[in-house]
Amino acid sequence: MRRWWVVGAVVAAGVGCQDPDKSKTEVPLVEEFRAPPDEDRFNNPPEQGYRKPPPKKEFKPGLGGPTGPGGGMGGPGM
């Protein structure tokens, strides 16, 4: 019998403590147009435009590379 009193008190406290205004978690959606500020960087953008990056140089391994002199684990040694 005592257990039902405790359960009833916890349920009543949980239901009574909820504030309907604070439980709202929705943020109002505001869609408005915002123009950029009246600054020179927005009014007069640079004239040069996009430049393609230079091509990467071809990799040519030197000594110790895959085609260079061997050595190390299992290779020709002293």
The secondary structure of residue 54, as a DSSP letter, is P
Note the pLDDT tens digit of each residue in 9-56: 777 666 555 666 676 778 878 888 888 889 888 888 778 778 899 999
Q: How confident is the model at residue 6 (pLDDT cuts 50, 70, 90)?
A: confident
Task: Return the pLDDT at 18.
Answer: 60
